[in-house]
């Protein structure tokens, strides 16, 4: 059995793709939180700093930034992470390490 070089397979795959014009279409691009669905915010892309993308709110254990604003934020976000889900808080674990963790109950009779 002959081996086909990976480059040849890549060229064939690109050649078979339909022509989509000269511009790339980026789905999920946004400018403000209001353009994203529920449970999401408009955060800076980690790949292209000049691009903002609709990004899910932080789940338990996800990285977060302590200065992330609540949802909706009417300005432009400066970080690539969204705030944590409502039942979570952005907690500092170590120097420059923050994670979304469950809120600790507080109040009379609770420790």
**Span 12-33, pLDDT tens digits:** 444 444 544 455 455 689 999 9
**Span 65-90, pLDDT tens digits:** 988 878 888 888 888 899 999 999 99
Q: What percent of the chain has pLDDT over 70?
A: 69
Tell me how many helices (H) and strands (E) the chain has. Answer: 1, 4
What pLDDT is recorded for position 69? 76
Q: Which domains does the chain have, with CATH numbers?
A: 29-102 (2.10.80.10)
**Span 37-62, pLDDT tens digits:** 899 999 999 888 889 999 999 999 99
- How much is the pTM? 0.65
Instruction: Specify the long-range contacts of residues 90-97, CB closer than 8 Å, at least 24 apart.
Output: 90/58, 90/64, 90/65, 90/66, 92/66
């Amino acid at each position: 059995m002959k081996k086909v070089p990976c480059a040849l397979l890549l060229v064939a795959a690109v050649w078979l793709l339909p022509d989509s014009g000269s511009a790339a279409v980026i789905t999920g691009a946004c400018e403000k939180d209001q353009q994203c669905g529920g449970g999401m915010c408009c955060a800076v892309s980690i790949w292209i700093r000049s691009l903002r993308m609709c990004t899910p709110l932080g789940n338990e254990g996800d990285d977060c930034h302590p200065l992330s604003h609540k949802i909706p934020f009417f300005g432009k976000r400066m970080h690539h992470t969204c705030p944590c889900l409502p039942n979570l808080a952005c907690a500092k674990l170590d120097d420059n390490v923050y994670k979304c963790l469950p809120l600790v109950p507080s109040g009379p009779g609770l420790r």
